[in-house]
Each structure stands twice: as structure tokens, then as C-alpha cells.
Structure 1
Amino acid sequence: MLGQKQEAQAALFYEFSLEDHVPQDHLIRSIDRFVDLNGIRQYLSQFYSHTGRPSIDPELLIRMLLVGYCFGIRSERRLCEEVHLNLAYRWFCRLDLSDRVPDHSTFSKNRHGRFRESDLLRHLFEMTVAQCIDEGLVSGQRMAIDASLIEADANKQNSTPKEDWDASAIDPADAPRAVREYLDTLDEAAFGAASEVQPKFTSHSDPASQWTAARKGPAFFSYSDNYLIDTDHGVIVDVEATRSIRQAEVGSTKTMLKRVKEKFDLHPERIIADTAYGTGPMLGWLVDRKIAPHIPVFDKSGRNDGTWTRAEFEWDAENDQYICPEGQALKQFRRNYSDPSRGPTGKGVARYRALKLTCQSCPSKSKCCPKADARKITREEHEDARQVAREIAKTRQYDVSMKLRKKVEMLFAHLKRILGLGRLRLLGPCGANDEFLLAATAQNLRKLAKIFPAPQQMRTA
């Protein structure tokens, strides 16, 4: 029998509960168990006026932002539409069916004002880290660090070559917000002070972003998203936004390790990273703090002509000399200098030389220094720390660490493919920092929800 056409009839009264219409196995329920924003109002109280009309509840704005970043809704305009239509999102945001969803422009006003002034997003991220620690997901023993390029909201057509760019000619009073932030970060180690080398192009809309071709493809403007994670369960314990150059990324390691020590009293026994972090100063900094560097050494002492490399010479620390494979000594000084200027250079590099007569009569001269009268070897200031890293690289624990390092790479893949953060929407260093903090917060919440899902309730017949 053909069914009858359904006619929508208006009812005088409705009995409707959002709680009953959100599936018990929905991810939003598991996330909600770990979102405690009761202290947000008190945290922001000093940034609100005591007179005037009541503002929009900051907890509502934060919950909406968490929905957007947890479920890959990149547009705030679309986020407002989704919260308006999706019952599960309404339930999470504590909105009833008749409650009005805030306008998308409200997010910009609060983000550029109270949220940044109070560093609220950093506070929110650290709350999730504290929850992960309380749930036993973070031991703090083994940590990994890495950086990933995130494309900035800028293009080459609106940029200036480095020979024509003059930051001193910019008037901060008339400059846009992102340009003022760029001027404020010129002396910061994570941005302007990271390197004296100027980028090939500078964006007009976001001059703090870095012009880079690190992906071996077409160059673009970007920021670097730096993660410090605990390898037990892949929890992000800190995040930092920097320029997309190696010096800034490596420098952020010190910033994040100091911050987690002060905030959570976490001091790892080992740090896992790739070769970019294996520079002498970085390894020396880690070794001085009793942190084992499970990092490949960044070493350019190798040779391509088949002759002996520095690694084939044995270091004799007691006598401050190298021993060549033929058993001869290479010394830095063969007599004491009364004139200090004739001693070490003071530039962090020591040079060790063999005797000319010894090398001339050596049967292995063709393998050692065929084009020189005598063999010379340089030793950098942090060579002891480099040697510590080389010895660690021979252990089985190092092989395990190299496998654990993939966890941070998986987090970046999840960030770009699942959460959709392949390109920034906000401009300036503060905008990049806001997006990275919210994305890391969302990833930690999803991690908690996955490991500790909401208990399922039996349906009543």
C-alpha cells in the first residue's frame, strides 16, 4: 500500500531533551568529560569592566572554539552555523534549542583583546596537560621534539624582495596589527633575532612569516609549529610558534624544556629528535642539564675523497690530543706560550696537528693527508657532548628512541589531515600562536577521549 504524505503539524507543547538526542558513543561526550572551564570567569575577571552590558559568556566562546578545532571546522562563520544546527555541538556548548549562537565576529574581538592579554589559550592548553598528567599518561622520562611547517595566510604577490625591505621605515601607528606584532618580535630569539640572514621575500600582510622552500617544492610563507611530546602516549606537553628556520626551531627546545620544568616539574632523562637538533651547542646544553641526547650528531667533518675522517682518530682527553690509526699523536700545543695571544683562539675551535716529519715518513699518508704536509684536525667547543651523543647512538635504547620519534610526526600528520590545519587563518606571530595552542589542546583532548571514552549507558526498552 502506498504510504500517505506526511504533513508537518505544529504542536502546542514540545517535550525535547538534548541529552537524549546525543549518542552515547559520540566523541563529543568523551571530550566533555575532560573539559572543566569553571575557573575561566575568575581567570578573566580583571579583563572585564564592572559596568556596562553583560558580555557573552567566555566559557561558551571557548567551548565553540574547541568544537571547531577538535572536528576540523576551520571557518568561524561555518562554526557558528554548525553549532546552530548540530544537536551534539549545542549540547557540548551548553546551549538550549532556543538559545542564540554568538556571531562569528565575537571571536575576533575577544581573541585580539582579552584572550591574548590574559594568555588564556596558553592557560587552557596547560590545563589539558595537567589532566593528562593526573590520568597517568605522562611520565616525563622520555620526550621527543620536532617542528612542522604550517603555511601562513600570505602570498608572494603581496611581498617585497629583501633588498627593498626596510623595517625601520614602518610607522607602527599606521601599521596593521600583524605588522606591529612583527616589529615587536624583531628582538625575540624565536623570530627576528633567530638569524641575521634576511628572507628572500617579506610579506606585506604578515612580515613575521618566513619565505621558505624547505619542502623541496614551490616556496611559500610559513610558520613553524614546534611540539614537545611525552612518548609514553604521545601527549603534547608544550607547543611554541617560531620562524621556519633551523636556528629558531632548535632554540625553541630550550624554551619549552624550561617551561615544562617550571610549570609541571617535568625533567626528562632523554630527549629524542632528528639531526637538525644535533648541533654542538644544543647537545652541550642538554648534557650540562643531565639530559641524554638521543639525537643524531650534526657533523660536517666527513670526507668524500676516501681519506680518514676525524671519527677514525681516537681522542685522548687525559693528554689533550688525538691518536691517529698509526698510533701517532696530534697535539694542539707542543710547548707552553708565555704570550696568551699565541694560545687558544677563543673562538670555540681548537686545532690539533701532527709533526711534519712524522707524516712524511708515515706509510698511510695517502689515506690520511695525501695533499698536505701534515694532518690537521679541528675540535669544536662542544665536542665532548657530541661524543656523548655518538656513544648513545650505539645502544639499543637509541634504536627504540628512533622508533618513538615517529609519534611526534604522527601528531603533525593528524594535525594537518584530520584537524585540517595545513594553512593558518590568523595573521601575525600571535595568530600563529593562538592556532597552534588551540590545535594542541584539541589533540590532547582527543587523546584523553580515545583512551578514556565515556561509559556507555544501557538503553531501556
Structure 2
Amino acid sequence: MEYQQGENRHQLALYTTCLDDMVPHDNSVRFIDQFVDSINLQELGFQSLPFQGRPPYNPADLLKLYIYGYMNRLRSSRDLEKECHRNLEVIWLLKNLKPDHNTIARFRKDNPKAIKRVFRFSVEIAKNFNLIGGMLIAGDSTKLRAQNSKKNNYNKKKIQRHLEYIDNKLEEHNKALSTADGDQKEGLEKQVEHSKQQRRKYEQLQKKLDEDKTSENPQISTSDPDSRHQIVRGTITEVCYTAQTTVDASHKLLIDYKLTNQNDKKGMGMMLRRAKSILRTNQFTALYDKGYHTGSEFRTADNLGIKTLVAIPAIGRASQAPNSAYNAEHFVYNREKDTYTCPQGNELNSNQTRYKARNYTFKQYKTRACKSCPVRHECTTAKVNGKIIQRSEFTQNIQDNATRVSQNKSVYKQRQALVEHPYGTMKRQWGFDHIMTKKGLRSASADFGLIALAYNLKRMLNLGIKLPGRFALLHVWPGKVPIAQKQALKLILKGKVQYLNFFPVYFPNFE
């Protein structure tokens, strides 16, 4: 049976082509090349380092390499180094440059803020071509596993358990030493010394935790110092970072991200301020899940003039009445009289004293009618004072959100489909469920910034394929002549223009 035969590897051949001809004109690598070449990297904060001897690599080339890598599921600096030697697309993109893995890794570590500005540049490009509606956004967070095992994460209780264990071991070793001799004694002495070293290590960690007065539950991660042990879902925990993101509803493009090591409780207000600055308007609706249901964050949103829809969590068991019909939400508040009316028609009054909780103040409302009320056993389990309603300074903001949610149920149903789309692509499809770096929050932010940038560019490229003429927006006019947006779009859609210059971009004043 005859088969197709390959060419002789040792036969000399003359190729009548150049490197540029080996990469198709619709290849996404050209998209990356023109995108980066259209950015003034020095203005965005990429610094050209001083050198002696051999010149350094151009930041534009290293940025192109990283964007290509992240768009093709390659994040490791060593993997990217290999691609520079064997991947024709990368050879074309870097014009046959071959940086080593240390140079590649340092570029990501040293430029987290500049990488974020490149991400914002992609957002402004999307806005210029109406890919971002700015009318409906959704916010959420995802946990990304850090390069720090649970074993190397410590809190006060864990350290205390280690110290107790070491003390017990030392006691056992000391008892054994009193009767040991020869080689056995020498081995026990080594174990005792090792245990003492371990004890000193844990005592130092304990001292650092005692000095931390800012955290409710201080902890230390020894491999990646800024990572924190957090609940991922249910009872599953990981040492990880939290990525807060904001997604626009029009084409599910990311408009903002921020990597933190905190939970969602205080995340909404910060992300809304940033969204208002990016979109340059507050005339949009923001959707969030119940993890963001915090009174102070609602106050922030209302002060910003932003309409929020946040899912309402279930009432805690300790706050429920024996009969749910007598839960606090069924008591009607009269703003003019500053009183509550219970389901039995009794009026609850306040003594106008403001009590202080950890993060807010509140007033208490009660009535003497509780003592003789026939349904008291269904309303409260209190033995002395009867039912007491607490109204915090944020209660009105919380109730306003509940009203909006009940009136816009169909809008809120869109939240999960919007905000989970990027996470499905990043974590499930690309496998980017962890942080590559291990030198703190700054480096981790650069890693996630490149993930977010790669997602936006990939999404814009896909939209360009679906929407005729959009792919041309990421090429450059040969003479770099600025064109008005409407005129440029008309020329692209008519097929008269092949290349288009970028428009000026706006960067909000925050990191």
C-alpha cells in the first residue's frame, strides 16, 4: 500500500518567501502586534531600564509575548521561553527575539500598574466602538488559589496547637533521655534540638500575629505573604486571593478588576466608585449577589446615585421569631413619627438613644403592650422586655434595595449569566484557577491583570469576527492619520479602509 511521502530532511531547499508570509493575515497574532504597537508604553508606566553592555528587550516585545501566551493558555515564563524557539507565530511576533525565562518573569513582576493601564486601554477601545453599553453592569468575585499551601498558613489557634504538640513531644523526649544511653541518647538529643528550633519558629510567628491589631482574625502565609485562608464555597477552604470584577451587559466585557485578599462584604462600594469613574456616568444599574449585602455599601451606592440590585440573604435563625409572621420585616415603620407598628397594631417607640455596634449605630424600639399581648409567645422568646426592634443607620438603604429587587426581578435574573461568563472562560476553559506568582499582592495583581486583558482581547476578536468590519479597529493607518469615529466606521463597513488608528483613551485616577 502506498502512502504520501514527506520530504527528505537532508535535502537543501530554497524558499521564495519571508517570515511575514508564513503568518496568515487574519491570524490573531497580528491583532496582538497592532494592539501593542498602538500604545505609548512609556506613558502607561513601562520603564526602559538603564543598561551597560547588551541593550535590554523592548517592553513592547515582552508585553506582546505575554498577551499571546495568556490568550493561548500559557502563563509560565519557562513555557513562553520555549515558544520563542519553536512557535512560528511567536517567532513572527517577536521578530526572532529569544528572551530567557528570567527576563520574561521579571517583566510581569515589575509592571503590575502598567499592565492594569493596558487593560484599561482595552476597555476604552471597546467603549469607542460601542461594545460597552454602560447601562447594566454586574459585579462578583472569584477565588484564585495562591502558591501557598494550607500547611504554610497560620493563625493564633493553629500556632497554639503546634506549640502544645511540641511541648508534649519535648516532655516525652526528656523522660526518654533520663533512661537512654549511647546512640539512642544522641538521636533523642537531635530530636529535642529540632523541636526547640520549631518552637522558636512558632513563637516568632505568634509574636507577629499578636502585633497585628488591624485584622479581626490575623493570619500569616509564609510562602505568599499576602494570600489568605478563605472559604471558597460551602465548607471548602483554600489559601487564595479574591478577584473582584465588573462586567458590562452588552457583550460581557470586563470593565474593571481588583485583586484583594478580603471577602465580598466591603467590596461593592469600592467597585461602584471605580465603575462610575470608568463609565463617566452613574446612570446604570449594578447587580450583585447576597455576599455584598452590607448596609454601609448600600449607603455608598446611594450617595453615588447608582441604582443597585443586591440579592437579599435569608434571616439568621437567631433573628427569627417563633412564628415567621412576626419577624421584624412585618413591622411597619413610620418615618414621620419614628415608630414601628407590629402586626397586632401596637406602636413601638424609641428613647432616641443611639447605641454603637462594631461598624454602625442603631436605635431600639419597644412597647409595654408586649407584656399583655395574647400572641407574645409567637412573637418573641424574651422573658422580660418583650419584642425589641433594632433600626440601624443603614436600614433605610437596605429597605430601598429590597424594594428595587422586588420591582426588577427580571433584570436581576440576568446577573449570573453576565458575571459568570468571564469566570467560565478563565477558570474552566483556560484553566486559570490559580495565581502563578508568589511574591505578594502586587505580583499577583499583574498575573490576574494579564488574564483579564487576554479575556477582553479574545472577546473583542470574537466580536470582530461576528460583526463585519470590527476586526479592522485593531490595525493602524499607515500614515497614522486620526479619523473621526463615525467616519472611520463608515469606511470600514464599506470595505474602503483596511487599517485604522486608535483613538485617545481616558484613564480614571485610581489604581
Normalised TM-score (structure 2): 0.72
Q: 1:299 to 1:382 in 2, by over 3 A?
A: farther
User: Please, which of 403, 406, 419 is the counterpart of residue 414 of structure 2?
Assistant: 403
Asked if 1:419 corresponds to 2:430, the answer is: yes
For residues 6 and 20 of structure 2, the distance between their equivalents in structure 1, rounded to whole angstroms, comes to 30
Alignment of 1:349-364 (within 5 A): 349-355=362-368, 358-364=369-375
Asked if 1:344 corresponds to 2:359, the answer is: no
3-state SS, counterpart of residue 407 of structure 1: helix
For residues 106 and 62 of structure 2, the distance between their equivalents in structure 1, rounded to whole angstroms, comes to 11
Asked if 1:317 corresponds to 2:335, the answer is: yes
Asked if 1:441 corresponds to 2:453, the answer is: yes
For residues 464 and 237 of structure 2, the distance between their equivalents in structure 1, rounded to whole angstroms, comes to 42
Deviations 1:299-346 (A, max 9, x none): 64651632410111111111101111122211103xxxxxxxx83335
Corresponding residue of 1:239:
257
Gaps of 5+ in 1: 167-182, 334-341
Q: Cα RMSD (Å) of the superposition?
A: 3.0
Conserved 8 A contact 2:132-2:248: yes
Asked if 1:368 corresponds to 2:368, the answer is: no
Conserved 8 A contact 1:41-1:59: no
Corresponding residue of 1:74:
75
Between stretches 39-48 and 216-225, larger displacement belongs to 39-48
For residues 27 and 5 of structure 1, the distance between their equivalents in structure 2, rounded to whole angstroms, comes to 29
- Compare relative contact order (CA 8 Å, sep 6+) and give the higher one, 1 or 2: 1
For residues 356 and 152 of structure 2, the distance between their equivalents in structure 1, rounded to whole angstroms, comes to 45
Between stretches 412-421 and 385-394, larger displacement belongs to 412-421
How far residue 279 of structure 1 moved from its aligned partner, in angstroms, is 1.1
Alignment of 1:280-319 (within 5 A): 280-298=295-313, 300=315, 302-303=319-320, 305-307=322-324, 308-319=326-337
Deviations 1:233-270 (A, max 9, x none): 11111111111x42xx3434333333344455243532
How far residue 84 of structure 1 moved from its aligned partner, in angstroms, is 2.7
How far residue 23 of structure 1 moved from its aligned partner, in angstroms, is 4.3
Q: 1:156 to 1:375 in 2, by over 3 A?
A: closer
Normalised TM-score (structure 1): 0.80
Corresponding residue of 2:280:
265
Asked if 1:387 corresponds to 2:399, the answer is: yes
Corresponding residue of 2:483:
none
For residues 395 and 372 of structure 2, the distance between their equivalents in structure 1, rounded to whole angstroms, comes to 30
Residue type of the partner of 2:238?
A: F
Structure number having the greater helix percentage: 2
Q: 1:160 to 1:379 in 2, by over 3 A?
A: closer
Residue type of the partner of 1:196?
A: E
Q: 1:154 to 1:136 in 2, by over 3 A?
A: same
Q: 1:46 to 1:439 in 2, by over 3 A?
A: closer
Conserved 8 A contact 1:272-1:405: no
Conserved 8 A contact 2:227-2:240: yes
How far residue 46 of structure 1 moved from its aligned partner, in angstroms, is 5.7
Task: State the identity as a percent.
Answer: 25
Gaps of 5+ in 2: 161-207, 466-470, 473-494, 496-511
Deviations 1:392-422 (A, max 9, x none): 1211x33322323332122112111222211
How far residue 366 of structure 1 moved from its aligned partner, in angstroms, is 3.6
Conserved 8 A contact 2:322-2:379: no
For residues 76 and 231 of structure 2, the distance between their equivalents in structure 1, rounded to whole angstroms, comes to 27
Q: 1:5 to 1:310 in 2, by over 3 A?
A: closer
For residues 328 and 304 of structure 1, the distance between their equivalents in structure 2, rounded to whole angstroms, comes to 17
Alignment of 1:133-212 (within 5 A): 133-162=127-156, 193=214, 195-199=215-219, 202-212=220-230
Corresponding residue of 1:274:
289
Asked if 1:125 corresponds to 2:119, the answer is: yes
For residues 215 and 404 of structure 1, the distance between their equivalents in structure 2, rounded to whole angstroms, comes to 19
